[in-house]
Amino acid sequence: MVRLCLIGSRQPFSWCTPTDGLASRGGTLPALHQAGRPLPALVGSEPKASRSRRRTTRHPPHPRAAAPAKAGLLRHPPPSRCCVYPGPRPSQGLLRTHRVKPWPHPFPYEHLSSPAQARDDGREMTGARLRFAPSPTGLFHVGSARTALYNWLAARGGGGVFVLRIEDTDAERGREEWVGGILEALDWLGLDWDEGPYFQSQRSERYSEAAALLAGTGRAYWCECTREEIDRRAREAGRPPGYDRCCRDRGLSPGPGRVLRFATPLDGETVVDDRIRGSVKFANRDIEDFVIVRSTGAPLFLLSNVVDDMDQLISDVVRGEDHLSNTPKYQLLWEALGGPSLPRFAHLPMLVNEKRQKLSKRRDKVALESYREQGYLAEAMCNYLALLGWGPEDGEEVLSKAELVEKFSLEKVNHSPAFFDLRKLDHFNGIWLRRLAAEEFEERALPYLERQAWGNRFDRASFRRLAPLVQERVATLEEVPAMVDFLFLDRPALQDRDWAKLSGDPSTRTVLQAAAELYGTVSWDAPMLEAETRRLSERLGRPLRKTQAPIRVAVTGRAVGPPLFESLEVLGRERVLRRLGEALDMLGGPARAEEHAPPAG
RNA sequence: GGCCCCAUCGUCUAGUGGCCUAGGACACCACCCUCUCAAGGUGGAGGCACGGGUUCGAAUCCCGUUGGGGCUGCCA
């Protein structure tokens, strides 16, 4: 059992490693380094009718769908769940910087499960296998979240398997804490995965084998050109920037400073058949001889991505449109490695900023975590994210994840980029907040209240009494504390603007004095307070809204908040009277109660 | 520069040749409700980028233009 502890979660993440009867690693790996030998699939590509129990599916199954596990690596059933929470899900506690240890950890390579296994989990399987393959190079991105969600929806909607893979081939940029961020983000969103996480950093042997195969068959070659040389040659020859295939026929052997480049075909075209965009043609001559292995021997994304999709039997690649131009390279590599039939592709439209540029970590607010911290609900985030690039036919936009699974279809995904609009997110968050059961709302608001500087003055019981009124007035959980802070502060947090307006009005003193008198004796519950304040208002000859305003500011410090009389009730007579008195003191000046006092009786 | 993708209200979308005088949602405006603020209700303003075709008929199909974006890394 490998266990990752996420500081900030009450429960540790953990995933099982096989403990019994699994084929030993390595021994059953096909030998890939023999020149001329195509890379065999780890699983038979010929579906066996007897074992492939076809189900009705929304989409035509991939040729490899429902292919049963062949003897060998996949002979033994993997653990029923690869990633589980032992016990209740972590609280909605605020994220802190978290650290995952240890890392790298043993790679759960033998985990590859057959579709049959997932079927045992109680889901209808079609054998479609989708993966979400983020790289741990920064805070988890809302665009990644959308991609993960669409993969998850496609998997869950079609009875497929959802695989999580961490693409950490770039040791320089990858950081272990980002891995924890990915896991925690997916967990928060409720996007559970069936397999993985697989770590590319644990599979370098496999990529070396693939690289050796490509080099051995002449589909790749070693190159010693530096970036500077390449740029200079292009410049001097007046060619557009790009590699000139200089080393392609030099027959170099591996060596220091040398990278392995894939030799792309010089003619013909590669056609990408995309489920969202249709068929997209690329002339092979436009695809440069791209690097697949660094001079350090480490594989590049292009290679490891293909090898993993092959090994992990991915049938459907759903990713951002920024990968569309990579796809012909993917396909060429796939073919050169002797892979079975290609996966299906679906390239999702990008998420863009207000200037309609791809969302960037640098200039845009993209960290999912920051939205979580601000009190956005995972339900709202999923709901909103799903609508970025897709819309339900019936127009009903407020959808739970279960409803999304029901209605979502990759084929209906839009083609054009979408802007991440905070205001609409706010609207959805308000809806989901109001849908929460009272106790649930209270529970989720708790972390935001407890982190306030009220110290031990916070009192859950008082909050509970006002919570339902707060619930329907906030758009995010972050707004909750300001709604109820007057309950937990010695003196209300007087808002300058509100106080200025109040103190500038000569009638304020009259109202506050009258209220103080009234509240000294009135029966202390909201209905009575309201009724009596209304009568007071009539006696003063002013509308209730004009009367409640000074009282509200004096008692709560703010001009807006939960309904006043409930607030007074919870605060209690003593504190209300004290605050009215303090406000009157602050108002200063001569008491002019006589002038405005209502006729006695 | 080269290659590729995209184009319906400000934003997210419905629309796949006639049902479109283009529907919904967010935001906005007005009114109603109302102890503040929200929520809710009613109504309003607002769009098929442009130009050519094809067709009896085009938001929808084709071509072009323009505009936007992505890729073009020993990042993913």
pLDDT of residue A177: 87
What is the full DSSP assignment across A36-86? T-----SS-SS--TTT------SSPPPTTTTPPPPTTTTSSPPPS-SEE-S
Whether any strand B atom is under 7 angstroms from the Cβ of A565: the reply reads yes
Distance, in Å, from the CA atom of A435 to the CA atom of A581, rounded to the nearest integer, reads 40
pLDDT range class, residue A590, cuts 50, 70, 90: low
Residues in chain A: 601
Give catalytic residues of A, as residue numbers.
Answer: 361
In Å, what is the separation between the CA of A220 and the C1' of B70? 27
Separation between Cα atoms, residue A601 and residue A597, nearest integer Å: 11
Query: CB of A190 within 8 A of CB of A145?
Result: no
In this prediction, residue A106 carries a pLDDT of 31
Asked if residue A283 keeps its beta carbon closer than 7 A to nucleic acid strand B, the reply is: yes
What confidence tens digit (pLDDT) does each residue in A294-328 have? 999 999 999 999 999 999 999 999 999 999 999 99
**Residue type at A587?**
L
CA A64 to chain centre: 29
Nearest nucleotide, CA A416 to C1'? B6
Helix (H) or strand (E) holding A575: helix A573-587
Asked if A409 and A442 touch (Cβ cutoff 8 Å), the reply is no
What pLDDT score does A401 carry?
97
Rg over alpha carbons for chain A, rounded to the nearest Å, is: 32
Sign of the CA dihedral with A241 first, then A266, A319, and A114 last: negative
Residue A354 in this model has a pLDDT that exceeds 60: yes
The tokens for A506 are 């000569």
A476: which DSSP letter?
S
Tokens representing A239 are 């060619």
Tokens in use for A142?
A: 């809302």
Distance, Å, A541 CA → B34 C1': 19
Instruction: Please write the tens of the pLDDT for every residue from A48-94.
Output: 222 222 222 233 334 444 333 332 222 222 322 222 222 222 222 22
A358 touches strand B (CB under 7 A): yes
Q: How big is the CA angle at A128 (ends A126 and A134), to the nearest 5 degrees?
A: 150
Q: Whole-number Å distance, CA A277 to C1' B15?
A: 18
Q: Which nucleotides of B are covered by protein (CB under 7 A)?
A: 1-8, 10-16, 23-27, 35-40, 68-76
A 29-68: CB within 7 Å of strand B = none
Identity (one letter) of the amino acid at A12? P
> Edge-to-edge strands of the sheet including A83-84?
A2-4, A13-15, A83-84
Q: How far apart are CA A178 and CA A263, in angstroms?
A: 34
**Residue A130, phi then psi, degrees to nearest 5:** -115, 155
Give A468-527 pLDDT, tens digit per residue. Answer: 999 999 999 999 999 999 999 999 999 989 998 888 888 999 999 999 999 999 999 999
Q: What is the pTM of this model?
A: 0.81
The arithmetic mean of pLDDT across residues A562-566, rounded, is 98
Output the six-digit token pair for A262.
Answer: 């894939």
| Token reading at A328 | 């012909």
Residues 6 or more apart in contact with residue A550 via CB below 8 angstroms: A502, A505, A507, A508, A511, A512, A515, A583
Q: Quick one: tokens of A313?
A: 């039997």
Rounded CA-CA distance A599/A577 in Å is: 22
Q: Report the C-alpha gap between A583 and A554 in whole angstroms.
A: 6
Complex prediction ipTM: 0.96
CB A504 within 8 A of CB A553: no
- For A291, phi then psi, to 5°, come to -80, 135
Identify the band that residue A456 occupies on the pLDDT scale cut at 50, 70 and 90.
Answer: confident
A548 Cβ contacts chain B strand, under 7 Å: yes
